[in-house]
Structure 1
């Protein structure tokens, strides 16, 4: 019996356990379901809160838009009010203008009626005369206005055409640019030649400088010798003499004198060749040989640093171009422009302006009267008789005024050196006065028969005082008086 009871009790316990486990499982399932339902409710709540916040933000933004629209509406309303005020003011002004126009119309009507009343009482012939006078006055005013307009147009076109012609003429020329030309470099074949040029104790270089009046400068490590002088003619003669000495190789005082004499004698031939070359370059033909020689002398003459012979060639080319542009006589303009400064070759040999001197010289050698007039008139000292004379004056100005043509500082330097030599040469007994080393040294050669040794010392002091008194200069000027007595005899 007891085992049965025990089994029954065990079965009941097992059933109860199973029931308890089933109840727990159901409770867990219910809790899980409740948890999921709670989570779902929370998610829905969060979504609802977010949606409410979004809707609230939209409401705020909409309120801002409404406020902005309200402000815009107020501004637009104010603008409308201002426009209404402007329209009202314009309307008042138009009313005033209309009133003024009505008054003016009434006045004009009254005047017209008065004039018509007067016309009915006026003689028709008088009316025609008055009308004719009015028409003539109007026509005269119109003609004067048109004439002034045509004059301005013609002047403008003439100025423009003249500018084009001048620019075209200048652009066809290729002129050189003036530089400071106070030195000349001569290459040496070797270093030994420097010693020959200097000579024993410097006697050769002293003899060369005293004879030519040109500074001879030798520098170390430079196989060339430099000739320095403000006077281009002296420098050219010295260059010819020194080149001959270098070619010969035998340099001593006697040979220096001989080379210098040959260089002096050959200057006429060099002048002639330069004149012939300039004739070919300028395109001028048929000049007498004395005129060619005189022109050649201008190869070493300068004006404000510009070589006069080169200036004449350039002027001739410019004048030919201008004459061709304006329909003038090309060859006459070319010839007159090429000869216009020939008078400078005589200054100061002849008295008077160089234009007058040149015209007289050309007339003496049978030059055409129109050429002579153009030469004489290129500085307005006499009136121009031909269009070619005006062209010569223009070509002269163009050649001198183009950029780089002239340098005033070089010309001033040359004038200062010439003044210095002139002051020194005015003293009694002076045979030759030479400014050297850019005017820092004066070498004075005196006549030995007129100035003795003691007189040479006195003369040096006198010249120095004269220079200090009459000439303004920077620094110091050294005055060296040279007295040399030579006795020559010929054995026959």
Structure 2
């Protein structure tokens, strides 16, 4: 065969093979369709069966739910019927009770009508008797007028005049005897009350001063306190504002400052530093800050103990703090807290002697000088009695106490009996021999005025009057005051002191400007 024949035979063979394959595929497809139809029919049948069972379950559940709701509804109906029956029973009881009350009320009304009739009958009888008495009285008066030859009005006026004269003479005699007796006994009784009060209160004399002595275990500690080139002692003086005098006194250092709070801070700080052994400028500043916080807490504790000791309750926390601050204040050399406690006790005793409220008098006596511990410099211009009264009013004290505080130096009018008691007891406490030293108070005031002048200039951070007022040390803020301005500030403060104050000798003004750079290594 040639090539053409071979190609034709090949094409025919391919066509036959393709036809056979098509026929085989159709057979397989018809089988697949039949099996799918069978599966679909079985699935439909199973679905119908499951639907029937689900329908029956739902119907059964619905019937059960209906029966439950029906049972609950029957229970509610039964409870409501029970409540209705109970309400009906209460109503019947009330009706029977009301009926009984009405019957009682009707019975009482009948009895009242009977009593009213009896009263009417008696009143008619009394009116008849009264008319008969009046007729009899008139006839007797007429007979008396005929016998005496005077009318009734004339006789009444004569009797009144005689009674008036007798009463007036008796009253004048009684008043005169009472006044004479009061003059004889009033002064004697007043002296007796004051003397008894003073005798029942005994206190020491004033011992306030401006220096404290810090005792050391050995003189070797003095060198550590001074530090290299005196840096430790300078840091301590700058932080506390207290002049520290290290001299030849064995095992002692003298702390000098007019402000007892600063002096106490310096003393406690020195004690902690010496006990700890680490004494350097950074440690000094840390200890001083902690000690100042400790002193503030101690002030509150002192105030609480004072009011508890005196039996005073319900005092405002700010007033308690002011009472605690009194421990570190003095008036004419007399410790202010000791003076106020003494006045409170005197007021309580005197009020009890006079039959007044001793607790209220104690309260007024304790608070009478709180105006001497101001929080701000502006308040110093106000008299301490008025300032104390304003504080007492601000913190809810009673008007009697406020008036007694404000009037104890006669700055306002006394409106209560407690006010003169506070004034008298203040005089008793302050005027007794040895109670006060006026020179010390004027000296302390001069030192305070020196510091106030420094604070009047801008940029001043701290100001301390040291060396008994012969030096004013001023610490300024380096950001606000330059070196040239510091020199000017020193001159201006010295001129202000020279112009506004009177003082012995000279006052040295030292302005300190310090720059610090602080970084932390982590």
Both structures adopt the same fold (TM-score exceeding 0.5): yes
1:438 Cα deviation (Å)?
0.2
Match of 2:275 among 243, 247, 257: 247
Once the two structures are superposed, residues 316-368 of structure 1 have per-residue CA deviations (whole angstroms, 9 ceiling, x without a partner) of: 10011111211111122112212222233336467444334333433444433
Q: 1:290 aligns to what?
A: 318
User: 1:443 aligns to what?
Assistant: 473
What SS does the aligned partner of 2:213 have?
strand
Q: Which residue of 1 aligns with 2:327?
A: 299
**Which of the residues 418, 435, 438 maps onto 1:408?**
438
Report the Cα distance in structure 2 between the residues aligned to 1:411 and 1:137, rounded to whole angstroms: 65
The answer to whether the Cα contact below 8 Å between 2:333 and 2:440 also exists between their aligned partners in 1 is: yes
Preserved contact between residue 350 and residue 357 of structure 1 (Cα < 8 Å): no
2:385 to 355, 377, 392: 355
One of 192, 211, 214 as aligned partner of 1:164: 192
Corresponding residue for residue 333 of structure 1: 361
- 1:170 and 1:248 map into 2 onto residues whose CA distance is 48
CA, structure 1 residues 454+409, in 2 after alignment: closer, same or farther (shift >3 Å)?
same
Question: Which residue of 219, 232, 246 corresponds with 1:218?
Answer: 246
Q: Which runs of 5+ in 2 are unaligned?
A: 1-160
Q: Normalization by structure 1: what TM-score?
A: 0.67
Taking structure 1 as reference, are residues 365 and 472 closer, same or farther at Cα in structure 2, changes over 3 Å only?
closer
Equivalent position to 2:237, from 209, 233, 254: 209
Match of 2:507 among 472, 477, 485: 477
Look up the SS of the partner of 1:367 in the other structure: coil
Quick check: 186-195 or 445-454, which moved more?
445-454
* Kept in 2: contact 1:175–1:405 (CA 8 A): no
1:110-160 Cα distance to aligned partner (Å, 9 max, x none) = xxxxxxxxxxxxxxxxxxxxxxx9xx9999899868855653441231111
Determine if contact 2:208/2:334 at 8 Å carries over to the other structure: no
> Where does residue 399 of structure 1 map in the other structure?
429
Q: What displacement does 1:288 show? A: 3.7
Q: Distance in 1 between matches of 2:201 and 2:463?
A: 41
Change beyond 3 A, Cα 1:325–1:203? same
1:373 to 386, 392, 403: 403
* Local SS of the residue matching 2:520: coil
**Which of 483, 486, 492 is 2:516 aligned to?**
486
Distance 1:275 1:428 in 2: 35
Q: Is 1:236 matched with 2:236?
A: no
Please say if residues 368 and 388 of structure 2, whose CA atoms lie closer than 8 Å, have aligned partners that are also in contact: yes
Which consecutive residues of structure 1, in runs of 5 or more, have no partner in the other structure? Answer: 1-132
Whether 2:303 is the aligned partner of 1:275: answer yes
* Aligned twin of 2:109: none
Residues 242 and 266, structure 2, Cα contact 8 Å, conserved in 1: yes
Q: How much has 1:209 moved relative to structure 2? A: 0.9
Q: CA deviation at 1:252?
A: 0.9
How many Å separate the matches in 2 of 1:404 and 1:280? 28
Q: Name 1:420's counterpart in structure 2.
A: 450
Greater alpha carbon shift after TM alignment, 408-417 vs 230-239: 230-239
Matched, 1:155 2:219: no
3-state SS, counterpart of residue 219 of structure 1: coil
| Paired position in structure 2 for 1:127 | none
